[in-house]
Chains A and B, each alone.
Chain A
Amino acid sequence: MNKVKITVLLSLLVIAFLLDVALGSVHIPVKEVISVLFTADSVNESWIYIIEKIRLPKAITAIVVGCGLSVSGLQMQTLFRNPLAGPSVLGITAGASLGVALVMFSVGSLTSLYTIRELGLSGSWLVIIASSLGAAIIMLLVVSISSSLKDNVIVLIVGVMIGNITLSLISIWQYFSAPELIKDYLMWTFGSLGGVTGNQLLILTIVISVGLVISFLSSKMLDALLLGDNYARSMGLTVKRARLIIVISTSILAGGITAFCGPIGFIGIAVPHLSRALFNTSSHRILIPACCLLGTVLMLSCDIIAQLPGSQTVLPINVITALVGSPVVIWIIAGPRKLRGF
């Protein structure tokens, strides 16, 4: 039965990928899309550019992001035994936002000019590095606090509170900033799968792959944690070490994605529920690949919708994931009993 589901999902994945590459604001005939994909040639040079340099990297980014967010959401839901937990629950994405706010609101100031000239950083790399540093600092903070706490619920609350403090700091900054800078920061918070190209896409893929591997290798630990800390301990799991590994891998996944694509929500909360319902299991060595598959299909679908194919404009990805993700979560949790994830 699982084999059927996996085959169907893989087919959906391929279809969604092709649709994402084929559809967009500029109308490109299917024949030409296939021609570019397989022979790197087409009658219209700008179509080659659009597919190779704009749509293809975006679709690959969608795949990577779909995997990373779903698996990190799954881990958070298991660790905290909370159906509403997601990748941002530890405040990691808030930390990333803080780093970005720091860079964007001090554009033109002496400090940022110095950074740009002396360190040779500029443009998008500056934002990526600032975002990663912000996420890493929050991760260290949460890890150090959680290592002295026995109870996971307390760690969850601490993480949420740290996230809130960080967002308040950003709000203060915004309050005193000029409108153009606020607009730039606002655009960043809308999230974007486009714009991750070349080296950036390579690095993102490597980082997410590392995070996914760590998560998969933690499958057994995650399974044990489903019964709670006490039982897990009695089965031989060192709960503190397990928690550390899970927090680190979630931070790598969520922090990495936020650094390159901005904060993207709802996928991390909705997909684990969908996976649990669809595959009817709680075993993480099945759920983690399942989340990757479902997350990718969902992310690609959201990107296709965000493109508003045929129209000249594009909607922010965060808007689509929220509009699509929230009803899914409601349906899963409040819906017919047999689909219940938690």
Chain B
Amino acid sequence: MMRKINYPLLTGMYTCLLAFLLLSSSCRQATNHKQHHSAKTGSAEIKYAKGFAIDYYDGYKLVSVYSGFGPTADTAQYVLLAKGAKAPEGFPKSQLISIPVKRLVAMSSTHVAQADFAGVSDDIIGLGSFKYISSAVVRKNIAAGKVRDVGVDGTMNDEMLISMKPGLVIVMGNPDAKYSKYETLTRAGVPVMLNSEWLETSPLGRAEWVKVMAALTNTEDVVDQKFDAIEKEYHRLAEIGRHAKDKPTLISGMPFKGVWNVPDGDSYMAEFYKDAGTNYKWRNVKGKGSLALNFETVAPEALKADYWLNVGYVDSKKDIRATDVRYADFKPFKTGKIFNYNKRVNDLGSNDYWESGSVSPHLILADLIRILHPELLPQHQLFYYKQLN
């Protein structure tokens, strides 16, 4: 006969196991520090981005990619070696990248935009997907058969990539994550660099990653100049925005199935909203970039908000109503103040906001100020945003 089951004990164990699993999923991993040493000749001036550093040495450059929270032991380091120079000692774990990089494979639209910014998008020979591309140069090259589709991240065609002999494959990543899925490529001599510009919490910080592209392609002069201009323009606009007399309220994003993801205080979107002169409810909430809130928490704000921005894949008020009939009760719906960043969506369905927008924070800020304070920028034509009717 079976022994009687001890229910209290089982229930206790079950609850403890559940609690443990739920708690551990929100814990961050511990980090430790490592130092490196050599004779530097200079460093790139990085004012806003927290996720990388570029150091200049005799004959090579060192790009360190952090997780966005500052240097940790998991910093990925890349040695950018000039042609003909000898590989430096002391970097056993780092990849060597020959510069200037020709034959670039880009896995994300932001990388294409950075290449465009640096004027080197003609060197792109491979993309993760042909569906998400706005750059005119790259599209022309695709049509001419000069660019290959290498498969989205996770299902990359390693064999094709190796045979293409690219100078560098740039992937979206988090330096904390494991490198192992790219081992096949790196062991075959294909350098793979992780970019984590998407972790930046400020618009200028995100755009500043063009300097990594500059270091890779020896276009620092051009890029620094352009970036300085954008930086100046951004600050000029932010002054206007922040000194606006009345600050409208707004809600951001589109809920899905009872959950409304809104940008929190640590996201670049919240910084945009601050610089554009708004009263954004969650601007002071610290977090990982977005808050997953219950629909009913955000709904009271939505009922009173002045503007509704960034509504996702919809293109008209009819679409919004079709998604959920309750959205028609929101004040921005009733007053028609709904704006979406889908003005520059091309015939492939890809949205340039995610491409050139990532390196043009000044244009996005101008759009936002034009929307939120039309009287402050009357001459500006909306570039990425449009009003939904």
Contact = CB atoms under 8 A, between A and B. Distances in A.
* A and B touch in their complex, CB below 8 angstroms: yes
Given A123-B323, A335-B5, A46 B258 contact: no
11 contacts: A45-B303, A46-B304, A49-B299, A50-B296, A53-B299, A53-B329, A123-B321, A178-B129, A192-B258, A195-B257, A335-B5
Residue in A26, A188, A197 with the greatest tally of chain B CB atoms within 10 Å = A26
A164 interface: no
Q: Lowest 3 A-B CB distances belong to which pairs?
A: A194-B258, A123-B322, A46-B300
Contact of B14 (A108, A124, A327): A327
B299 A194 contact: no
A25 B300 CA distance: 12
Contacts of B318: 122
A108 B354 CA distance: 15
A158 interface: no
A109 B347 CA distance: 10
Contact of A314 (B155, B258, B321, B326): B258
A57 to B, nearest CB: 9
Contacts of B324: 123-124, 195, 197
Contact of A124 (B291, B295, B313, B322): B322
Interface residues of A, number: 43
B322 A54 contact: no
A54 B155 contact: no
Contacts of B259: 187, 313-314
A49 B257 contact: no
A190 B7 CA distance: 29
Interface in A305-320: 307, 312-314
Given A184-B256, A334-B5, A55 B322 contact: no
A159 interface: no
Given A108-B349, A192-B258, A195-B258, A25 B325 contact: no
Contacts of B73: none
A34 B41 CA distance: 73
Contacts of B293: 25, 312-313
Interface of A: 24-26, 45-46, 49-50, 53-55, 58, 107-109, 113, 122-125, 175-176, 178, 184, 187-188, 190, 192-195, 197-199, 262, 307, 312-314, 323, 327, 331, 334-335
B6 to A, nearest CB: 12
A124 B323 contact: yes
B39 interface: no
Contacts of B313: 107-108
Residue in A123, A125, A198 with the greatest tally of chain B CB atoms within 10 Å = A123
Contact of B257 (A26, A45, A108, A194): A194
Nearest to A193: B258
Contact of B296 (A25, A113, A190, A193): A25
